[in-house]
């Protein structure tokens, strides 16, 4: 009997998830747009262009975080095939490699910057990765002036779920204040470093007046919708085109679910 119940339960769960999320907007997660051998988070520029050319040919429209918020909260209509392109950390190659390609295909991007590392080398990673720098203030203004969006990625890029209450509030509040002062505009979105968040992070983010919170897949609720815990779909350096096409389709949420299942099984069998 168990052999029949388990597949049926999985099928029912998948159906519920599809019904609830088939109309949700896919949010893609990029980091560097650069050819860096061995770095999973550095997508070669030619692959990035191939992906955007596909999106353009299929009638996709990229939107920013403010449009996403207005759609989900205020009910404002979006183009039928909307998509969100996000870039974590604010690398300079987002401006010099990604933006020309986005302009070519009439797309916009959303970059999330680490305010204490603006214009500096990526030493916060400390993973033995190739050093490169983030956009400085002038480059960020150029990014924004081209129609792109800027959001917060905290002050120092910590795992927020591991922060004590004082540090957590400072990371969220100070990064928001810093960007608002510099850009002279409201910052409504926070991107959680490493996808690390919990109920306390969401609570403080809300108190700091963030309207949208971006995670990745871990701990993101799938059977209910939380605007401060939205899932994203990672696009790694070795992304195959057939898989990319599925990741931007109506079944994109299935990828999130499978990654969650994979993570839980790994924890179970440690």
Share of the chain above pLDDT 70, in %: 83
Question: What is the value of pTM for the model shown?
Answer: 0.88
What pLDDT does 17 receive? 59
Average pLDDT of the segment spanning 194-219? 93
Asked, for residue 3, whether it belongs to a domain, the answer is no
Domain containing 182 equals: 23-122+152-268
What pLDDT does 219 receive? 74
CATH number of the domain at 80, please: 3.20.20.370
Cβ atoms of 55 and 47 closer than 8 Å: no
What pLDDT does 125 receive? 78
What pLDDT does 251 receive? 74
Q: How many domains does the chain have?
A: 1
The answer to whether residue 3 scores a pLDDT higher than 60 is: no
235-257 pLDDT tens trace: 999 999 999 999 998 777 776 76
Asked, for residue 65, whether it belongs to a domain, the answer is yes
Asked, for residue 215, whether it belongs to a domain, the answer is yes
38-86 pLDDT tens trace: 899 999 999 999 999 999 999 999 999 999 999 999 999 999 899 999 9
| Residue 135 pLDDT grade (very low, low, confident, very high; cuts 50, 70, 90) | very high
Gyration radius from the chain CA atoms: 18
Average pLDDT of the segment spanning 254-267? 66
The Cα–Cα gap between 214 and 142 comes to 24
214-233 pLDDT tens trace: 998 777 776 678 999 999 99
What pLDDT does 36 receive? 92
Asked, for residue 139, whether it belongs to a domain, the answer is no
Average pLDDT of the segment spanning 12-30? 73
The answer to whether residue 154 scores a pLDDT higher than 80 is: yes
What number of other Cβ atoms are within 10 A of residue 54's Cβ? Answer: 15
Average pLDDT of the segment spanning 107-120? 97
CA–CA distance from 64 to each of 41, 67, 146, 150 (Å)?
22, 5, 13, 9
Asked, for residue 194, whether it belongs to a domain, the answer is yes
CA–CA distance from 58 to each of 39, 41, 51, 81, 105 (Å)?
29, 25, 11, 9, 12
| Residue 130 pLDDT grade (very low, low, confident, very high; cuts 50, 70, 90) | confident
Asked, for residue 132, whether it belongs to a domain, the answer is no
**3-class state of residue 28 by DSSP:** strand
Asked, for residue 7, whether it belongs to a domain, the answer is no
pLDDT mean across residues, the chain: 89
Asked, for residue 217, whether it belongs to a domain, the answer is yes
């Amino acid at each position: 009997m168990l052999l029949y119940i388990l597949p049926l339960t999985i099928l029912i769960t998948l159906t519920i998830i599809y019904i609830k999320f088939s109309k949700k907007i896919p949010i893609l997660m990029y980091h560097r747009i650069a050819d860096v051998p061995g770095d999973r988070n550095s997508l070669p520029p030619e692959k990035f262009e191939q992906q955007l050319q596909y999106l353009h040919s299929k009638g996709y429209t990229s939107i920013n975080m403010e449009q996403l918020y207005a759609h989900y909260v205020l009910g404002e209509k979006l183009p039928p095939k909307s998509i969100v392109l996000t870039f974590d950390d604010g690398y300079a190659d987002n401006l010099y490699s990604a933006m020309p390609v986005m302009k070519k295909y009439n797309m916009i991007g959303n970059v999330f910057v680490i305010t204490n590392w603006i214009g500096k080398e990526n030493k916060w990673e400390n993973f033995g990765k190739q050093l490169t720098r983030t956009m400085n203030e002038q480059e960020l203004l150029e990014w924004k002036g081209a129609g792109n969006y800027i959001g917060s990625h905290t002050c120092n890029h910590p795992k927020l779920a591991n922060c004590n209450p004082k540090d957590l509030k400072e990371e969220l509040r100070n990064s928001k204040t810093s960007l608002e002062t510099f850009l002279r505009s409201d910052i409504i979105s926070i991107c959680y470093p490493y996808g690390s968040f919990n109920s306390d992070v969401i609570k403080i983010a809300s108190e700091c007046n963030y309207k949208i919170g971006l995670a990745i897949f871990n701990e993101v609720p799938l059977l209910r919708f939380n605007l401060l815990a939205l899932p994203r779909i990672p696009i790694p350096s070795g992304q195959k085109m057939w898989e990319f096409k599925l990741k931007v389709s109506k079944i994109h949420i299935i990828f999130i679910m499978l990654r969650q299942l994979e993570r839980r099984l790994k924890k179970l069998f440690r």
